[in-house]
Amino acid sequence: MFTGLVQGLGTIAAVEPTADGVRLAIATELGAELSEGDSVAVNGVCLTAVAPTAEGFGADVMNETLRRSSLATAATGARVNLELPLRAQDRLGGHVVQGHVDGLGTIAEVNEDGFSRVVRIEAPPDLLRYVVEKGSIAIDGISLTVAAVDDSSLSVALIPETIERTSLGAAAPGSPVNLEVDVLAKYVEKLVGASR
């Protein structure tokens, strides 16, 4: 389990296609905190660390994950958001993030608004039904508050800290982003549907 509070940016050092998916090599100082088999969120996707070192780690990305996430277009040199899993004694500062991407969105526009930056993301209706204004959403693994939502998109406002410390600071229109809706909304829908 994660919180959506990005702990660092990593760089994709290599992308090696395999018969069953892709092996990513990610350069990051967070590799020193990982052990073989540990979970780590990469742009919001929960992956398993392989051969971690002080300089980084590897991760195997299976075809199912490639179909559902922006890791399908991962390229050498790209910056990725990284988060280590929540420990029992940690503060829950963002929201409950599983690292299970629900689908892809596309950045439609980016506008400056005082010291913040408003990012509008087009998303499929089957995901937007779980998104509410002032609710939580994970975008590329970043816990954010929804500023606005309509039938085809949602908007979030980024503070300077988020702009500086995450990959969304360099995001441009047309870029794909991983979306994970609030899991509580999905459980509520299922429970309400079962009681009818």
How do beta strands 176-181 and 103-113 pair?
antiparallel
User: How far is Cα 120 from Cα 149, in angstroms, rounded to an integer?
Assistant: 9
Is residue 146 in a domain? Answer: yes
Say yes or no: 71 and 114 in one domain: no
pLDDT tens digits along 95-129 = 888 899 999 999 999 999 999 999 999 999 999 99
pLDDT tens digits along 158-172 = 999 999 999 999 989
User: How far is Cα 85 from Cα 98, in angstroms, rounded to an integer?
Assistant: 9
DSSP state of 174: T
Say yes or no: 66 and 107 in one domain: no
Q: CATH number, domain at 68?
A: 2.40.30.20
pLDDT of residue 13: 98
pLDDT tens digits along 46-93 = 999 999 999 999 999 999 999 999 999 999 999 999 999 988 888 878
42/183: higher pLDDT:
42
pLDDT of residue 96: 86
Is residue 89 in a domain? Answer: no
Is residue 97 in a domain? Answer: no
User: How far is Cα 34 from Cα 49, in angstroms, rounded to an integer?
Assistant: 7
User: How far is Cα 128 from Cα 119, in angstroms, rounded to an integer?
Assistant: 16
130/92: higher pLDDT:
130
Say yes or no: 132 and 177 in one domain: yes
pLDDT tens digits along 13-33 = 999 998 899 999 999 999 999
Residue pair 20/62 in contact by the 8 Å Cβ criterion: yes
Q: Is 22 left (phi over 0), alpha (psi -120 to 50) or beta?
A: beta
Domain range for 179: 103-194
Positive or negative, the CA dihedral 9, 10, 11, 15 is: negative
Say yes or no: 61 and 108 in one domain: no
